Amino acid sequence: MAAVLALTPADTGRKRPRAIEYSNFYSVRLAIHRYASYATLPLFVAEYALGRSLYNTPPDSVSGSVRSAHGAVAVGIAGLFGINTVTGGWNLWDARKDPAGRTRRYVHAALMLVSDAGFVATGALAPSRRAELAGTIDPNRRSLHRTVAIASMSTALAGYLMMLIWKH
């Protein structure tokens, strides 16, 4: 047995894993990202309900408070996604050398970036108040705004749930 051990080169074992070092600020950003994410579902539910109310009511009979609330919640979603894009992107960059959970992180990031783009498009497609008052709202544009908003929320929700369910 001793002769067999002597003939085996010392370096045939597995390579030692490289240590990945994260800063303290990584943990702070992760906590901000995680806690801000908890606002996603309530904001989406509120925005969907307000948007559905606006969509199903003729433009001339919609109350200003519903329209204002829809806009305020949209600004809340934009702020939430702004914060989470910055904190998530920064942490994604810091974790780029860590192989543990890499696929999960990249799939999540891709879904969220697609959602970000969809929310920008949703805002750009929103009918203007001036067009509503003039009665020149294109029904196809309203429908497209709604479709892109729901698709963006669905994509974001998939990325959100993925992180909750798909653990290491």
Task: Let me know: does 60 contact 135? Beta carbons within 8 Å.
Answer: yes
| CA gyration radius, the chain | 24
**Residue 126: what pLDDT?**
87
Assess whether pLDDT exceeds 90 at residue 50.
yes
Non-local (6+) Cβ contacts of 110 within 8 A are none
Question: In the predicted model, what is the mean pLDDT of the chain?
Answer: 86
pTM, full prediction: 0.80
Which one is predicted more confidently, 86 or 20?
Answer: 86
The band of 57, judged by pLDDT with boundaries at 50, 70 and 90, is confident
| Between 18 and 88, residue with greater pLDDT | 88
Instruction: Check residue 167 and give its pLDDT.
Output: 78
Residue 45: what are its φ and ψ, rounded to 5°? -65, -45
The pLDDT of residue 35: 95
- Tens of pLDDT, residues 1-21: 555 555 655 566 677 777 777
Tell me the average pLDDT across 64-76.
Answer: 91
Residue of 83, 130, 84 whose CA lies nearest to 109: 84
Helices (H), 57-137: 64-94, 102-125, 129-134
